[in-house]
Amino acid sequence: MSRVLVAMSGGVDSAVTAALLKQEGHEVTGVTLKLWGGPQDQGCCSVSDVDDARRVAQQLDVAHFVFNYGDEFDEHVVRPYVVAHASGLTPNPCIECNRHIKFDALLDRARRLGFDALATGHHARIVQTGGGLRIARGVDETKDQSYVLYMISQDDLEMLKFPVGEMTKMQVRELAGRLGLRSATKPDSQDVCFITASQGRARFLSDRLELHPAEIVDTEGKTLGSVDAVELVTIGQRKGLDLGGNAERTYAVNVDVPSRRVVVGGAQDLLSQTVRLTDHTWVGQPYVGLIDAQISAHGQPAAAQLNSDGSLRWAETRKKVAPGQAVVFYLNDAVVGGATAR
Amino acid sequence: MESTNLDQLAYLDCAASTPVRPVVLDSMMPYLTNQFGNPSGAHRLARSSRRAIDDAREVCADLLGFDPHGIVFTSGGTESDNLAIHGVCGSSGIAACPATEHHAVLYPVESHRGRIIKVTPEGDVDLEHLEAVLDDEVSLLSVMLVNNESGRMIDLEPIAEVRDRQAPRALLHTDAVQAVNWMDIAKAAARADLMSLSGHKFGAPKGVGVLATRPHVELNAQLLGGGQEAERRSGTHNTAGIVALGCALQALDESRIDEIHRLGLLCNRLAEGLVAAIPGCHTTIPKSRRAAGLLQLLIEDVESEALLVLLERFDLMASAAASCASGAMDPSHVLAAMGVHRTAAAGSLRLSLGWCSQEWEIDHALEVVPRCVEQVRGST
């Protein structure tokens, strides 16, 4: 038996995580993170989510605490999210939350409080490979979350548990139902937890950032129209560019915030073979060679070559990666590292 | 169930709540069983309940130094504070209070075009600012006698003098929810026009409180209905709770002087021991100005929400600043008002004693708090 801290969001995955570890005989303590104090209609730290997590902890008869990481979340997740948009980047706040809050501040606190392990409800597995411990894809491919966990070091993996990574989502819900857990039928959380569905990203950013109109030009430089906020345009975006009949076949292929310009083109203009990368992190040793790379949380991986200069070359041309997006490298479905597109 | 056997738990969170005294539990039992009549009724069972309430009202009036007609029974401290502030200010009045008041005062005051008064670094009301803030427009000034987080005792006399000078028509309300354990309340609140109490802070159960008012106070009822409590607070009386509150107040009054002495010695030993044993630990309020059994510490390089988890593992129940709706610790508005930086305020620890506190609990705290602080500080 060991002492395990379980991060409980109020959702079904972390509820089942706590239940499984308790069943295995561990001394389980639940913790819910209070990350965001602003308006919220879904996500992982509203008062009703904390209620759900607490109720599950009561049902399992385990202690439950709420930790307030609001200041850290604001500093490491929300403000960088706004700054990234201001610079024309496409941020991934879930990754930054994992990097700075769950698998840094919380993990550090778990160690200092004498816990032997920290568990979360992520759909991913921790496997032993020739290169040491690695994050591998969860059993349920449609729910796999290994992409958002790429930054976890091998030292930290030794302390972590992701028990539902061995299960399909359906099995998780079935078990939660059998155990009578309150969150058994609760819908999965979607999107960014601090942005409300009712007000959206544009409203969130416009409260924190001056948005600027921009002209839309084609690849020859000819003006085609305008957008209200260049900061809200992402490479590959098709909707919202207001180009009349052309919109179906036209994509943003370049976003230049300082000169307030969005370049649009056809699907072929969006293709690229090389991705320039920055801020690499490695699970173990840095890697050069053939890998599979994934560029979004639930995107399909594709074969690529990792070069010694840190860039990535696709085996076949692919849609451009928006600067700011994370690119995660896999070997045999296990994460070897990741980086941010430039 | 997680173990909650009080014999094995060092409970130093009496400012949050206290256990019901055995004598109090005995006093209320008849009104939870045979004597269940609605006190507003006309028959014998109703009359016995009514009498119990009127007895409790006289006990309260006597011990609090108010007239029995001015005693309004409520559901607790928050309702009493809200009734005082909304009830006096109505739709047009202006309210004022220091920045360190409990949210049950602060938020209602803010809703009446509130004027917020600065405090000194030691938690006392800034009298110069009070002087500047009060004028004829103010209907109500609310100042607590003992702060629930810091334990700071506040002398109402100089505050009442400023009120007399600057805003003679303003009523003075005091939240005495913590103070009742630590001072002769009739004397300390002699200048107050209204006073709030909460039963569970002194050995009565949760869900019952008092708003004591002077005869000249006109109160607009906030709960309308059957007209109970002389039309000031409708709702069927909580007979057992009211009886319990009267009994607990009596028990407190009989033991207060001895208990202030006993608990004061224990709390001083705790304060001195912890400050000596923990580097970077100090009290927020000087000994002469803090309530005998309420101790607030600031511990450097510690986040109290982590410390509390560890203290609980060693069977010590304590608390930090106020909790928000989710149960997370919010940065303390009291410490912020006293000029404590947000980072330092994150290391606050409140240890509070009450009628149930025993010497072994202090010994236990002196042993485990330094050890837990060291562990929480430990780098990894």
B264-298 in b/e form (b: 16+ CB < 10 A) is bebbbebbebbeeebeebebbbeeeebbbbbbbbb
Closest CA of chain B from A18, distance in Å: 16
All residues of chain B having their beta carbon less than 8 Å from the beta carbon of residue A70 are 328
Q: Residue B140: CB partners within 8 Å, gap ≥ 6?
A: B84, B85, B88, B89, B93, B94, B95, B96, B109, B112, B170, B171, B172, B173
Structure tokens at A326: 């994370």
Report ipTM (2 d.p.).
Answer: 0.88
Average pLDDT rounded to a whole number, residues A65-91? 94
Q: Three-state secondary structure along B99-111?
A: CCCCHHHHHHHHC
Average pLDDT rounded to a whole number, residues A79-102? 95
Which residue(s) pair with B316 in the sheet? Answer: B10
Q: Which of A18-32, A243-257, B4-18 has the highest average model confidence (pLDDT)? A: A18-32
**Could you say which of B60, B89, B281, B324 is catalytic?**
B324
Q: Which of B:332-371 have CB within 8 Å of A? A: 342
Q: Which of A241-250, B2-11, B67-76 has the highest average model confidence (pLDDT)? A: B67-76
Looking at residue A152, its amino acid is: I
C-alpha angle with apex B154: B348 to B128, nearest 5 degrees?
100
Question: Which secondary structure element, helix H or strand E, spans residue B60, and what is its range?
Answer: helix B44-64
Count the helices and strands in chain B (H runs, E runs): 13, 12
All residues of chain A having their beta carbon less than 8 Å from the beta carbon of residue B325 are 47
Nearest by CB: A112 against B305, B306, B312 = B306
Q: Residue A145: CB partners within 8 Å, gap ≥ 6?
A: A122, A123, A124, A138, A297
pLDDT in tens, B167-185: 999 999 999 999 999 999 9
Residues of chain B within CATH 3.40.640.10 domain(s) are: 22-251
CA gap B77, B80 in Å, rounded: 5
Has residue B380 got a pLDDT over 50?
no
pLDDT band, very low/low/confident/very high, at A275 (cuts 50, 70, 90): very high
CA gap B302, B314 in Å, rounded: 17
Residue, of B325 and A136, whose pLDDT is higher = A136
Contact status of B1 with chain A (Cβ, < 8 Å): yes
Which residue(s) pair with B352 in the sheet? Answer: B13, B294
At residue A245, the pLDDT reads: 61
Residue B218: phi, psi to the nearest 5? -100, 125
A45 classed as catalytic: no
How far is residue A220 from each of residues A159, A239, A259, B105, B234, measured CA to CA in Å?
Answer: 54, 21, 16, 66, 77
CA gap B93, A298 in Å, rounded: 58
Looking at residue A83, its amino acid is: V
CA gap B176, B195 in Å, rounded: 6
Positive or negative: CA dihedral A61, A63, A66, A72: negative
All residues of chain B having their beta carbon less than 8 Å from the beta carbon of residue A113 are 306, 309-310, 375-376
pLDDT in tens, A201-227: 889 999 999 999 999 999 999 998 999
Pair type for strands A3-7 and A117-119: parallel
Nearest by CB: A63 against B2, B306, B327 = B2
All residues of chain A having their beta carbon less than 8 Å from the beta carbon of residue B342 are 71
Q: How many CB atoms lie within 10 A of CB B48?
A: 17
Beta-carbon separation of A113 and B375 below 8 A: yes
At residue A14, the pLDDT reads: 97
CA gap B115, B134 in Å, rounded: 8
Question: Which secondary structure element, helix H or strand E, spans residue B19, and what is its range?
Answer: none
C-alpha angle with apex B311: B305 to B317, nearest 5 degrees?
90
How far is residue B258 from each of residues B251, B264, B266, measured CA to CA in Å?
Answer: 12, 10, 13
Average pLDDT rounded to a whole number, residues B26-54? 97
- Tell me, rounded to whole angstroms, the distance of Cα B5 from its chain centroid: 25
Tally of CA atoms within 13 A in the half-sphere of B282 that contains its CB: 9
Q: How many CB atoms lie within 10 A of CB B22?
A: 10
Contact A131, A336 (CB under 8 A): yes
Q: Is B365 left (phi over 0), alpha (psi -120 to 50) or beta?
A: alpha
Structural domains in chain A, CATH included, are 3-122+162-178 (3.40.50.620), 210-265 (2.30.30.280), 271-341 (2.40.30.10)
Closest CA of chain A from B365, distance in Å: 18
Quick one: DSSP state of residue B172? E
At residue A288, the pLDDT reads: 96
Q: Name the closest residue on chain A to residue B378, using Cα atoms.
A: A112
Average pLDDT rounded to a whole number, residues B33-58? 97
CATH number corresponding to B22-251? 3.40.640.10
pLDDT band, very low/low/confident/very high, at B330 (cuts 50, 70, 90): confident
All residues of chain A having their beta carbon less than 8 Å from the beta carbon of residue B377 are 112
Q: Name the closest residue on chain A to residue B312, using Cα atoms.
A: A63
Which residue(s) pair with B138 in the sheet? Answer: B94
All residues of chain B having their beta carbon less than 8 Å from the beta carbon of residue A54 are 327
CA gap A253, A219 in Å, rounded: 9
Beta-carbon separation of B327 and A66 below 8 A: yes
pLDDT in tens, A116-159: 999 999 999 999 999 899 999 999 999 999 999 999 999 999 99
Pair type for strands B281-283 and B294-299: antiparallel
For chain B, what is the mean pLDDT?
96
Closest CA of chain A from B63, distance in Å: 40
pLDDT band, very low/low/confident/very high, at B293 (cuts 50, 70, 90): very high
Which residue(s) pair with B192 in the sheet? Answer: none
Q: Which of A28, A54, A66, A103 to mutate to test the interface with B (most CBs of B within 10 A)?
A: A66
Q: Nearest-CA neighbor of A53 among A140, A120, A148, A102? A: A120
How many CB pairs (< 8 A) connect A and B?
54
Residues of chain B within CATH 3.90.1150.10 domain(s) are: 6-19+256-377
Has residue B2 got a pLDDT over 90?
no
A193 classed as catalytic: yes
Contact status of B305 with chain A (Cβ, < 8 Å): yes
Has residue A314 got a pLDDT over 90?
yes
Beta-carbon separation of A109 and B306 below 8 A: yes
Share of chain B above pLDDT 90, in %: 94
Contact B334, B100 (CB under 8 A): yes
Beta-carbon separation of A68 and B330 below 8 A: yes
Beta-carbon separation of B305 and A111 below 8 A: no
Average pLDDT rounded to a whole number, residues B281-305? 96
Place of tokens 């109703």: B46
Structure tokens at A41: 């209609």
Which residue(s) pair with A252 in the sheet? Answer: A264
Tally of CA atoms within 13 A in the half-sphere of A314 that contains its CB: 17
pLDDT band, very low/low/confident/very high, at B123 (cuts 50, 70, 90): very high
Question: Which secondary structure element, helix H or strand E, spans residue B328, and what is its range?
Answer: none
CATH 3.90.1150.10 fits B6-19+256-377, yes or no: yes
Q: Name the closest residue on chain B to residue A67, using Cα atoms.
A: B328
Closest CA of chain B from A51, distance in Å: 8
- Tell me, rounded to whole angstroms, the distance of Cα A299 from its chain centroid: 12
CA gap A212, A202 in Å, rounded: 12
CA gap B202, B151 in Å, rounded: 15
Structure tokens at A231: 């900061």
Closest CA of chain A from B379, distance in Å: 7
Q: Nearest-CA neighbor of A188 among A93, A308, A95, A298? A: A298
CA gap A215, A256 in Å, rounded: 10
Structure tokens at A297: 């949380």
Average pLDDT rounded to a whole number, residues B22-39? 98
